[in-house]
């Protein structure tokens, strides 16, 4: 897509993180992901892929180093600041979808707006959510509960939820891990399409090396070095 900024949306420098209980540590020398990039993070189990996402989103704070997301030094923010930043700037797509069974599709999409005072749920947001749902082929399913949907439909709801706040960055943690091959590609195509349409940067954790050729940037946690596709 033309016109989008190529400024880094994700920038890590000399980051060291270790869990309080010990046993695992993550060190990142340098990592940048430019705005609008479609990036994949790969690595064996336990290599720190989810930890990396947590550092980028501010869920975790590094012991040392710099973490900059969408131009904000996340490592310098307070807990409240990081939460506020996260909910307004970042959208999450989880492997298990993590939709709420007691909310219908529309309410699941609008869920982030109910979690933080920074986000105000109003008519235009609802309208945007409906449009997003329509774009993702969910227009007829808004009143359904997640248990009434197929896997693919649930993933699309999760994608819509991630996009509803118009985030700068989507962090997807194995979003297609529970989908069958046909649905997987369909979901990916939708995710790519929506991110590209909104100039949203995507960093997706995946185990599936067969998908890597669809990404512009691969972050290999084993080498901790970005490898150009």
Partner 1 sequence: MRDSIYLAWRYLRHHRTKTLLLVLSLSVFLGLPLIMRAMSRATQQSLLSRAEATPLLLGKKGSSLDLVVEALYFQLKGAEPITKADVDGLQAMDLALGIPIRTGLMARGFPLVGTSLDYFPFRKLRMTEGRGLAMMGECILGAEAAEALGLGPGDALLTSPSTLFDLAGVYPLKLHVVGILEPSFGPDDEAVFVDLRTAWVAEGMGHGHQDLSSAGPDVVLKRKEGTVTANAKLIQYNEITEANIESFHFHGDPSSYPVSAAIVVPHDEKSGVLLRGRFVDAETRQLVRPAQVVDSLNKQIFRFERILEIVVWTVGLATAVMFVLVMVLSWRLRAEELRTMTRLGCSRWKAAQIMGSEIALMVGASVLIAGVFGIVMAQYGETWLQTLILRGS
Q: Which of 72, 103, 212, 216 binds partner 1 (CB under 8 A)?
A: 103
What whole-number distance in Å separates Cα of residue 109 and Cα of residue 126? 9
Grouping H, G, I as helix, E, B as strand and the rest as coil, residue 98 is coil
Span from 68-76, 113-121, 135-143, 199-207 in contact with partner 1 (CB under 8 A): 113-121
Residue 123 lies near partner 1 (rule: CB under 8 A): no
Packing angle of the helix pair 151-163, 181-197 (nearest 10 deg) = 20
Packing angle of the helix pair 151-163, 123-135 (nearest 10 deg) = 140
Would you state the torsion angle of the CA atoms of residues 147, 98, 191, 38, taken in this order, to the nearest 10 degrees? -160
- For residues 17 and 113, which CB has a smaller minimum distance to partner 1 in the complex? 113
* Contact track, partner 1, 128-167, x by CB under 8 A: ----------------------------------------
Q: Which residues is 201 bridged to in the sheet? A: 169
Residue 27 lies near partner 1 (rule: CB under 8 A): no
For residue 181, the minimal CB distance to partner 1 (Å) is 27
Residues in touch with partner 1 (CB under 8 A): 57, 59, 79-80, 83-88, 90, 92, 94, 98, 100-103, 107, 111-116, 121
């Amino acid at each position: 897509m033309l016109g989008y900024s190529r400024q880094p949306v994700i920038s890590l420098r000399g980051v060291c993180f270790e869990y309080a209980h010990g046993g695992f540590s993550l060190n990142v020398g340098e990592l940048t992901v430019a705005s609008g990039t479609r990036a994949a993070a790969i690595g064996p189990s336990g290599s720190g892929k989810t930890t990396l996402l947590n550092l980028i989103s501010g869920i975790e704070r590094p012991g040392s180093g710099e973490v900059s997301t969408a131009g904000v030094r996340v490592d310098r923010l307070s807990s409240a600041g990081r939460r506020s930043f996260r909910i307004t700037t970042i959208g999450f797509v989880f492997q298990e979808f993590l939709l709420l069974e007691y909310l219908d599709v529309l309410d699941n999409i609008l869920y982030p707006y109910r979690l933080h005072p920074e986000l105000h749920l109003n008519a235009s947001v609802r309208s945007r959510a409906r449009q997003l749902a329509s774009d993702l082929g969910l227009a007829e399913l808004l009143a359904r509960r997640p248990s009434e949907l197929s896997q693919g439909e649930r993933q699309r709801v999760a994608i819509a939820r991630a996009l509803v706040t118009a985030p700068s960055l989507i962090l997807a943690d194995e979003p297609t891990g529970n989908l069958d091959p046909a649905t997987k590609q369909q979901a990916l195509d939708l995710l790519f399409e929506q991110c590209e349409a909104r100039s949203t940067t995507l960093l997706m954790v995946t185990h599936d090396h067969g998908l890597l050729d669809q990404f512009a940037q691969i972050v290999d946690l084993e080498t901790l070095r970005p490898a150009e596709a």
